[in-house]
Structure 1
């Protein structure tokens, strides 16, 4: 076992693979643009937007969320543990926030979720994305980032972390509201109320978008910004479709409520 860890350590003692980092960063941005263009009229087929015709293979929601999210938790942690570079507090702090989000998503959220089964193809695509993005963010921060020990005191790092945790709090609280909308046995959709749901239909999505833009500020890196833009491109439109779903289903849906940004859109 010790020899295995030594081998992993030697493997992870690497220089910055700048070309690979640049390719993955461009890939994130390109995937966001492609998603916007291909999902203008229809959303990704999971949750309330899932179409089961023709029949598709599905995976229970809890298992699907765990499998697709766990790579983004494990890979950065493994890179941190096996990295032989000197520890830089600022880098470990911001990379730790990334891992914290995915710990909450992998361990807590997946155990509490009550959603519909996931299409197998959606789960596999999500897992591949988390593998690539987790590797990108972890490798860049540990082996490419110019941040030093003083970065943790920089106003950009501190402001970004505050924004990240505000977004995370919004996201977790909004998920709590959604989980408790229906009593056991109920299947009908209800109008979410409380928190930022008083102002937007996609409060949980808004929270996650805020998280990743805070992460981008805290890391001051292009790969993190690309991830934030991808998140906006991926779940921003989903908030719009949720908003339209509520408006069509409930005639008394609050007029003041917007899709994603309070009072704006």
Structure 2
């Protein structure tokens, strides 16, 4: 793989410049996505529609679309001379990334119960994003990110890592609550109860946004920041859409709940 990449990039500086450009492009995509989602819900789950292509089985879609976010980085770390992986800060940031996507791509899809099929357009866009972002994040961390030896004891790294851990646990617990809303054989929707759902409609989204905010803080790179901004633009929109939907669907939906941020928003 090193041979292939070396042919694509004439020098180290060239690829690092490309990785930076990819990050700025992701921020631009986040802005465009945010504006688009002011007028249109993300077409998946309860908002799925045939306008966005033929339906793809939800378990298959989740597994295949998320898998590149795990496999592409794995190839970059194992199949190339990833010189920066000998440094502790880089190793820990890579571990944070892989911890999330091991669960998201290899475990989560097989825990899904029921669920509506995913329109092909949503599936394809998610697949492309996972390839793009997986390459950008892990290529930077494994080959170019340069941290001082004591970075792991810095306030940025410690605070960011703890923030990531809290978000990761909230995300996993919230997904568990959502999976168990229906009993075997039941259909339809129910009001989520327990955990952070007592305070917000988008507890799972809040958890994932918090994860990548922590990752960006711990790594202090434009690549990490761009991922956080993109995640925020998409998942905040989903949280507000879900909140509006719950309020319209259920007369007894708790009026004290916020959409995304407890007690605030």
TM-score past 0.5 threshold: yes
Instruction: State the alpha-carbon separation in 2 of the partners of residues 89 and 81 from structure 1.
Output: 17
Instruction: State the alpha-carbon separation in 1 of the partners of residues 216 and 243 from structure 2.
Output: 27
Structure 2 gaps, min length 5: none
| 8 Å CA contact 2:73, 2:134 repeated in 1 | yes
Structure 1 gaps, min length 5: 1-7
| 8 Å CA contact 2:43, 2:52 repeated in 1 | no
Instruction: State the alpha-carbon separation in 2 of the partners of residues 91 and 149 from structure 1.
Output: 10
1:254-265 equivalences in 2 (<5 Å) = 254-265=254-265
Per the normalisation by structure 2, the TM-score is: 0.92
Moved over 6 A (4+): none
1:49 pairs with 2:50: no
1:65 pairs with 2:56: no
Query: In the alignment, what sits opposite 1:91?
Result: 90
1:164 pairs with 2:155: no
SS of the aligned residue for 2:38 comes to coil
Instruction: State the alpha-carbon separation in 1 of the partners of residues 221 and 21 from structure 2.
Output: 15
Instruction: State the alpha-carbon separation in 1 of the partners of residues 30 and 129 from structure 2.
Output: 12
Query: In the alignment, what sits opposite 1:37?
Result: 35
| 8 Å CA contact 2:52, 2:122 repeated in 1 | no
| 8 Å CA contact 2:56, 2:118 repeated in 1 | yes
| 8 Å CA contact 1:257, 1:263 repeated in 2 | yes
Per the normalisation by structure 1, the TM-score is: 0.92
Instruction: State the alpha-carbon separation in 2 of the partners of residues 216 and 55 from structure 1.
Output: 32
Query: In the alignment, what sits opposite 1:152?
Result: 152
Instruction: State the alpha-carbon separation in 2 of the partners of residues 172 and 253 from structure 1.
Output: 23
**1:12 positional shift:** 5.9
SS of the aligned residue for 1:149 comes to coil
**1:42 positional shift:** 2.0
1:212-231 equivalences in 2 (<5 Å) = 212-231=212-231
| 8 Å CA contact 1:71, 1:127 repeated in 2 | yes
| 8 Å CA contact 1:28, 1:227 repeated in 2 | yes
- Tell me the matched-pair count: 257
1:64-118 per-residue CA deviation (whole Å, 9 max, x = no partner) reads 0111111111122221223421511110110111111111011111001122111
| 8 Å CA contact 2:174, 2:196 repeated in 1 | yes
Instruction: State the alpha-carbon separation in 2 of the partners of residues 24 and 166 from structure 1.
Output: 28
